[in-house]
Amino acid sequence: MKRLLLMVVLLLISDGSYAGEKKTSFGNVKSRSDLIITESKCLIDAAGKSSEVTIEVTEGVGSLQIEIHGNHEDFPIVEDFFRVEKGVIKETLVTPKIPSGADERLVRAAQQFSGAAGQFLGKNRCMCLLNRYASLVVPNNPNVKLSPGTWKLRVKDMGENKHERELRIRTILRTKSVSFARRILPVHFHFSGARGWSAENYLDNQDFQAYLSELKKIFLSANIDLRIDSAYNLNSSTGNAGNKMIIEDNDQLFNLLESGSATYGLKIYLVDELMYGASGISAGIGGPTISSEFKMGGVVATLPDYGHINMFASALAHEMGHYLGLFHIKEYGTVLQDQLSDTNPDDDQGVNIMSAQGSNDPWSTRLFSPQQAQIMARHPLVMSLPSPEVKR
């Protein structure tokens, strides 16, 4: 994941391809009674600065996810997020300013790591992960509360190619505060043929079932039940190299992340190999809530020829953690730690699933912490149980 941050903005050609839908997907983000979804636009000027977007947070709102959807050449990030009262700024949760008194080492590390030091070190952390999409999850640590009132959002374009443009903004407010009750995350598996898994055989395939059972075990530690809503076979033209699906560049990655016909839930793509030898990639930290209008999204995980199935499941769970809003406990090779008090930054053994380090022991399942569970429960894709829109 870290290497991707350094990638330049590339032109992407979208040509989603899939075949062999196994089950019908259902559910729609717009039918959720616990969510208020607003779509708006934001103008970016030739200097890369944006117009202000107003977000009204009413009493009782528990959390907010802001999604910024751009085009191929865009590289957006949330620049500012603050609450105003009669034209006066009352509270700032995201700012490009580096916090006063911040440790020099932290600042340098954040600059190298995220390209947006102020935003990354701020009270409610955010950063850009891939081009075309940025997000802000509020709150994403226990020290932040989303107060009711009028909030203003400003976006910045980090790309080299500055020109006037329009970005689509989607805000998703969760009207109820997050409970610790059991929740559901609908997922859609996209098979590439790796390990012989397919939309036709996954239900009876012992190897896949072992993978799924490890994955479910990890998510149960966060009180989240995974529900497979559909399964697809990816068209081999998405990747290359004969029978293997190998995602080698940004073009192929976005091509993949737009494929499939699911319109709600978390898309999971299982491929043979990924660029830079990565074991997985998430489309965002606070990944997009896909819908019929916003197709891009999901996580990619690899199924290498060698290694234990539990390690592959663990790599996927880690990317899903990012998608649901989690950062690493400690960024690899830096002094940057997460903002949570129940994770251990010296977790070199990879006890926690969001440790950047990972673990080499397939028999010690890496889990989520209670604070991590609380953050993930706020993602719009995570639903309460029973969910009103689900009809089997």
Q: Which is nearer to Zn ion, 1 or 245 (CB)?
A: 1
**Closest CB to Zn ion: residue number:** 1
CB 109 within 8 A of CB 335: yes
Largest CA distance in the chain: 62
| DSSP 8-state class, residue 384 | E
Q: d(Cα 53, Cα 262) in Å, to the nearest integer?
A: 29
Instruction: Please report how close the Cβ of residue 310 comes to Zn ion at its closest, in angstroms.
Output: 18
Q: How many CB atoms lie within 10 A of CB 100?
A: 5
**What gap in Å lies between CA 70 and CA 189, rounded to an integer?**
25
Cβ nearer to Zn ion, comparing 29 with 299: 299
Q: How far is the CB of 356 from Zn ion (least distance, A)?
A: 6
Closer to Zn ion by Cβ: residue 1 or 222: 1
Three-state secondary structure along 10-69? CCCCCCCCEECCCCCCCCCHHHCCCEEEEEEEEEECCCCEECCEEEEECCCCCEEEEEEE
Q: Which is nearer to Zn ion, 1 or 373 (CB)?
A: 1
Q: For Zn ion, which is the closer residue by CB, 1 or 375?
A: 1
Binding mask 1-30 for Zn ion (x = CB under 5 A): x-----------------------------
Tokens at 37, concatenated = 């979804």
Determine, following the binding rule CB under 5 A, whether residue 281 of this chain makes contact with Zn ion.
no
- The distance of closest approach from Cβ of residue 153 to Zn ion in the complex, given in angstroms and rounded to an integer, is 26
Q: Pick the closer one to Zn ion by CB: 99 or 307.
A: 307
Residue 371 structure tokens: 């604070």
**Which residue's CB is nearer to Zn ion, number 62 or number 358?**
358
CA 75 to chain CA mean position, Å = 16
Q: Give me the helix-helix angle, 309-323 and 206-220, nearest 10°.
A: 50
Residue 274, both tokens: 């990924």
* Residue with smaller CB distance to Zn ion, 256 or 315: 315
Which residue's CB is nearer to Zn ion, number 291 or number 302? 302
Q: What are the angstrom distances between the C-alpha of 185 and each of 116, 188, 222?
A: 31, 10, 11
Question: Minimum CB separation from Zn ion for residue 330, in Å?
Answer: 11
SS3 of residue 302 by DSSP: strand
The distance of closest approach from Cβ of residue 354 to Zn ion in the complex, given in angstroms and rounded to an integer, is 7
Q: How far is the CB of 81 from Zn ion (least distance, A)?
A: 24
Q: Which of 236, 227, 233, 226 is nearest to 202 (CA)?
A: 233
283 burial type by CB count under 10 A (0-12 exposed, 13-18 middle, 19+ buried): buried
* Per rule CB under 5 A, count of chain residues that contact Zn ion: 1
Q: Smallest gap, in angstroms, from Cβ of residue 114 to Zn ion?
A: 13
Q: How far is the CB of 4 from Zn ion (least distance, A)?
A: 10
Smallest gap from Cβ 269 to Zn ion, in A, equals: 16
Question: Which residues are near Zn ion by CB under 5 A?
Answer: 1
